[in-house]
Amino acid sequence: MLVELADIIKIYNQGRVNEVRALDRVNVTVEQGSMVCLKGPSGSGKSTLLSIIGCIYPPTSGRAVIAGKQLARLPDRFLTIHRRQTIGFIFQHFNILPKLSVLENIVLPLMPLGISPSKRRAMAGPLLERYGIDHRRDFPAGEISGGELQRVAIARALINDPPVIIADEPTAHLDSKLSRDFLHSMVELKGEGKTIIIASHDPLVTEDGGVDMTYAVHHGRVSQDVS
Ligand SMILES: Nc1ncnc2c1ncn2[C@@H]1O[C@H](COP(=O)(O)OP(=O)(O)OP(=O)(O)O)[C@@H](O)[C@H]1O
Ligand SMILES: [Mg+2]
């Protein structure tokens, strides 16, 4: 299993008046090379779950093993290194920096790694080609179309060739054509052996095929969705 979460509890602001139990005894497994959807209403705990799977922080308690590493056992610095090597992120608004060029946005995850500018450009080249945005490489990202922006986000998630892609509400700001294009790209990446984990309340994600397993998230509790 690429992801093994057992009895995960995540409490924000523990011991304070604003304490929130965002995840409550959660069990989730994700097989390598599969595509998994987390669905559930706003505030149910999807992004929190993605943050733990994405090695952003360890759970308050429980056992979280991501790509062979148990998160609670990793000091912060190693958690960061493990995250950089393992996870590619795609966010709801794609978190693209509008003033930076398309190329600069795509290579952002490489910045902390001390890779030279020419090597960074070389790494981005095949992705710019693959996602049809090579002609936009020097454009400010704020000046390209929604579909192009979506493809920049995918290219950025792939720049480090991570085995896992995590996408948080990736279709929330896309029309149905672009949403389908996005899901098609994810299915294609799954075919290449990537593990894809998507949090979404968009029915298209589960309807459009390609999803191997859906987990329903409600008030911090997670169950396998068999509907
Ligand atoms: N950094 C934080 N500090 C305190 N509470 C938080 C924090 N992040 C999330 N929460 C709370 O934890 C619960 C789960 O939030 P989470 O963002 O995981 O939900 P979600 O399912 O992703 O919602 P949405 O669909 O709106 O994105 C919510 O009650 C939220 O208010
Ligand atoms: Mg969320």
For ligand 1, the distance from its centroid to the CA atom of residue 22, given in whole angstroms, is 7
**What is the whole-number distance in angstroms between the Cα of residue 47 and the centre of ligand 2?**
4
Query: What's the confidence (pLDDT) of residue 61?
Result: 97
Ligand 1 neighbourhood includes 86 CB (under 6 angstroms):
no
Residue 114's H or E segment, with its range, is none
51 Cβ below 6 A of ligand 1: no
Query: In angstroms, what is the span from residue 207 Cα to ligand 2's centroid?
Result: 20
Q: Strand 35-39: give its sheet, edge to edge.
A: 87-90, 164-168, 195-199, 35-39, 213-218, 221-225
How much of the chain is in helix, strand and coil states, percent to nearest 5? 40, 25, 35
Nearest-atom index, ligand 1, CA of 13: 4
* Span from the CA of 166 to the centroid of ligand 2 (angstroms): 12
- Cα separation, 179 vs 172, in Å, equals 8
Residue that has been written with the tokens 């987390």 in this structure: 38
pLDDT at 173: 85
Fold of 3-225: Rossmann fold (3.40.50)
For ligand 1, whether the C-beta of 1 sits within 6 Å is no
Share of the chain above pLDDT 90, in %: 90
pLDDT value at residue 226: 74
Q: Is the CB of 57 under 6 A from ligand 1?
A: no
Closest ligand 1 atom, residue 49 Cα: 18
Instruction: Please report the pLDDT score of residue 81 as a whole number.
Output: 93
The residue whose CB lies within 8 Å of the most ligand 1 atoms, and thus the one to mutate among 48, 60, 205, is: 48
Which H or E run contains 162?
Answer: none
Q: Is the distance from the beta carbon of residue 53 to the nearest atom of ligand 1 less than 6 Å?
A: no
47 lines ligand 1 (CB under 6 A): yes
User: How remote is the CA of residue 114 from the centroid of ligand 2, in Å?
Assistant: 31
Would the CA dihedral through 104, 194, 78, 119 be positive or negative? negative
Q: Which residues of the chain are under the pLDDT cut of 50?
A: none
At residue 78, the pLDDT reads 94
Domain residues of the chain, as ranges?
Answer: 3-225
For the purposes of burial, counting CB atoms within 10 Å of the CB of 85, is it exposed (0-12), middle (13-18) or buried (19 or more)? middle
62 Cβ closer than 6 Å to some ligand 1 atom: no
